[in-house]
């Protein structure tokens, strides 16, 4: 098995609280992997560790064979890691297209030493030399392709603030997908969505997974998780307590009764075929 992402003994302490406690997580190349658990289980802290927003107290993180444990978020993004957040973070005054272009900054921003990730350089950027203009055209083309992918191509020139809630969620995914990440982390992508929006989002996430992007997601909506995931990891009190395919997790008495709660257990039982 080829692991695109692997954490070993990953731990994060906040004063006297252990938010993530020795988590070993292995995410295979390709497919959709979900992390679930009750509130306070450590899911978002785990995501913040993986994406580099916070540093671990102990343990290691390897991505695509590289130890990224101490790398900052921009370096991880350059290696092919993208992320969305639980709370919508769009720039309302910008157009939809401009929002996606901000997600390409790591690939198009000039290097102050004069090289640039696309070879434009600081001087070329200031003078708008042909190489810079070519890079700019490439960035716009990639941004438009990402919008087409999520179904927002026709709204490229619309102000982001004018989009519906569900479309703003799609915009965030487009922005994260524009740099063509190998791993996309989705932090509660269905939060606040109505059933129709959730169903459409599930179809989109399955489509992204089918295109070869590996997806790691945190989500409270168990119907959503079970309907799209290839593998599920369950956390509780910061510890990994189960890994397996969705059906095994769905049927686990430990998960259903102790970690998902009776209400969720009843809802899962009703939705079972």
Q: Both 172 and 194 in a single domain?
A: no
User: Which of 176, 206, 231 finishes a domain?
Assistant: 176
Q: 228 and 100: one domain?
A: no
Q: CA 233, 236, 240: angle at the middle one, nearest 5?
A: 45
At residue 263 the predicted structure's pLDDT band, cuts being 50, 70 and 90, is low
Sign of CA dihedral 264, 171, 92, 84: positive
DSSP 93: T
The helix-helix angle for 130-150 and 165-177 (nearest 10°) equals 140
Q: Is residue 268 part of a domain?
A: no
Looking up residue 222, the CATH number of its domain turns out to be 3.40.50.300
pLDDT in tens, 142-188: 999 999 999 999 999 999 999 999 999 999 999 999 999 999 999 99
Examine the pLDDT at 89 and tell me if it is beyond 90: no
* pLDDT greater than 90 at residue 25: yes
Residue 12, phi then psi, degrees to nearest 5: -140, 125
Instruction: Assess if residue 17 is contained within a domain.
Output: yes
CA distance linking residue 157 with residue 94, whole number of Å? 9
- Do 170 and 114 sit in the same domain of this protein? yes
Q: What is the DSSP string of 211-262?
A: TT-EEEEE-S-HHHHHHH-SEEEEEETTEEEEEE-HHHHHH-HIIIIIIIHH
State both tokens at 187: 């932090």
Does residue 125 lie in a domain region?
A: yes
Same-domain pairing of 71 and 189: yes
Question: Domain count of the chain?
Answer: 2
Q: Do residue 12 and residue 65 come from a single domain? A: yes
Do residues 13 and 39 share a domain? yes
* Residue 146 counted as domain residue: yes
Q: What is the 3-state secondary structure (H, E, C) of 162-194?
A: HCCHHHHHHHHHHHHHCCCCCEEEEECCCCCCC
Q: Which has the closest alpha carbon to 51: 93, 79, 11?
A: 79
Give me the mean pLDDT over the 5-21 stretch. 96
CB atoms within 10 A of CB 180: 16
Answer with the one of 137, 156, 176 that is the final residue of a domain: 176
User: Using one digit for the tens of pLDDT, what is the confidence trace for 220-251?
Assistant: 888 899 999 999 999 989 999 999 999 998 88
Share of the chain above pLDDT 70, in %: 84
Residue 142 lies in a domain: yes
Structural domain of 97? 90-176
Q: Which tokens go with 30?
A: 């390709």
Average of per-residue pLDDT across 58-79: 95
pLDDT confidence of 137, banded at 50, 70, 90?
confident
Q: Does 265 reside within a domain?
A: no
Contacts of residue 81, Cβ cutoff 8 Å, sequence gap at least 6: 50, 51, 63, 68, 181, 182, 183, 185
Residues 186 and 171 in one domain: no
One domain for residues 167 and 186: no
Q: Is position 34 within any domain? A: yes
Q: Is residue 107 in a domain? A: yes
126 and 192 in a single domain? The answer is no
């Amino acid at each position: 098995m080829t692991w695109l992402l692997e954490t070993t003994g990953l731990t994060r302490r906040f004063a006297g609280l252990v938010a993530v406690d020795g988590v070993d997580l292995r995410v295979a190349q390709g497919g959709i992997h979900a992390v679930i658990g009750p509130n306070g289980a450590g899911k978002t802290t785990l995501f913040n560790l993986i994406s580099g927003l916070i540093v671990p107290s102990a343990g290691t993180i390897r991505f695509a064979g590289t130890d990224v444990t101490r790398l900052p978020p921009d370096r991880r993004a350059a290696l092919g890691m993208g992320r969305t957040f639980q709370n919508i973070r769009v720039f309302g005054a910008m157009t939809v297209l401009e929002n996606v272009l901000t997600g390409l900054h790591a690939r198009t921003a000039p290097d102050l030493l004069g090289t640039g990730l696309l070879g434009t350089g600081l001087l070329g950027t200031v003078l708008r030399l042909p190489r810079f203009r070519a890079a700019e055209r490439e960035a716009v083309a990639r941004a438009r392709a990402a919008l087409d992918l999520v179904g927002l191509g026709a709204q490229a020139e619309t102000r982001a603030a004018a989009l519906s809630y569900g479309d703003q969620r799609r915009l965030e995914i487009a922005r994260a997908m524009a740099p063509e990440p190998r791993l996309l982390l989705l932090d509660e992508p269905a939060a606040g969505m109505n059933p129709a929006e959730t169903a459409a989002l599930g179809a989109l996430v399955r489509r992204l997974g089918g295109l070869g992007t590996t997806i790691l997601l945190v989500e409270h909506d168990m119907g959503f998780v079970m309907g799209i995931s290839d593998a599920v990891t369950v956390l509780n009190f910061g510890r990994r307590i189960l890994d397996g395919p969705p059906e095994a997790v769905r049927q686990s008495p430990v998960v259903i009764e102790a970690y998902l709660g009776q209400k969720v257990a009843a809802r899962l039982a009703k939705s079972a075929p």
